Amino acid sequence: MLGGLLAPLALLALASLALGARDVPPGDVLATLLGDAPDRTTENIIWSARVPRTLLALATGAALGLAGGLMQALTRNPLADPGLLGVSAGASFAIVLASGVLGIGAVTGYLWFAFAGALVATVGVYLLSSAGRAGLTPVKLALAGVAVTALLSSFTSAIMLTEPESLNRYRFWAAGSLADTGGGELLRVLPFLVLGAVLTLASAPALNSLALGEDLARALGRRTRLIRLAGVTAVTLLTGASVALIGPVVFVGLIVPHAVRVLAQRLGLGPDQRWLLPACALLAPCLLLAADIAGRLVARPVEIQAGVLVAVVGGPFFIFLVRRQRLTEV
């Protein structure tokens, strides 16, 4: 399964390097990567614009896929997603607050605000959805996430409207754009993405035990509180760093884990997180790259942000999941 996902990922990465406002033949792309560019213009297009953009899609797509898979496994909730549960909105609000009010413009400066905002939003949604006699349910968790996302988004919009400079700077970022982000920003944030990915993959065996239930997981010697702490830390790192780089892209972490589980079921594989989470890290960049490529081609030379196209697919998918979940609960 993992090997089969590498082929479309490689093809989409090549397409990301070749397609855009000016198409570059695949042969010229490969020649440029090998140091034998046909001309200076092609070299500048590939190395200055499309290579950083493709690497950004690979890194942030893998991070969002891992965060979504981890959240669904950790909460045993098929509706869990960093964008839907307010994690991305919390990071976005903190970034806009740091940039528009405090004047922090460097990624490494407002990255810490993104982590704090993501963490506060995660805890807030969990406490809000746990209130009441019924306790925590998948639909309540989703509704709490939507409410917190709407609240934080309104605060973010208020700051951006009162700060015209922030509005002009972040209007494309807020839509989930892979453009205008250099390789230097990715390198500075990459350690946090790697740490979040390592924590996520290292938690896979414990997540398999947690899927059997809290009591049985404790009987097997698992420290459930430590598992949840590591999970929240990983989600905060992965989501906060991704939002700082490309903005609040929603639905990647929702769609991909479901698609991976369907693929694993078709191949006769069990619900083993040791394979499902790495598969999420490979399939999610495929989705983000495909959306980014489509955004370049649909209305070129004008581009449509990748986050917009992902939302076009993810919105109906989320409605379908909510309806199915409510029918299951009834």
Residue 56 has pLDDT above 90, yes or no: yes
Percentage above 90 pLDDT, the chain: 36
Q: What is the pLDDT of residues 92-151, one digit of tens each?
A: 898 888 887 777 777 778 888 999 999 899 888 888 877 766 666 667 777 888 888 889
Residue 256 has pLDDT above 90, yes or no: yes
Percentage above 70 pLDDT, the chain: 91
- Domain assignments of the chain as residue spans, ordered by start: 2-13+51-329
Q: What is the pLDDT of residues 262-316, one digit of tens each?
A: 898 888 888 889 999 999 999 999 999 999 999 999 888 888 888 889 988 888 8
Contact, 93 vs 117, CB < 8 A? yes
| pTM for this prediction | 0.89
Q: What is the pLDDT of residues 15-51, one digit of tens each?
A: 999 998 889 999 999 999 998 888 899 999 999 889 9
For domain 2-13+51-329, which architecture applies? Orthogonal Bundle (1.10)
Task: Mark residue 136 as left, alpha or beta (left: phi above 0; alpha: psi -120 to 50; beta: remaining).
Answer: beta
Kindly report the average pLDDT of the chain as a whole number.
Answer: 85
The confidence score (pLDDT) of residue 69 equals: 94
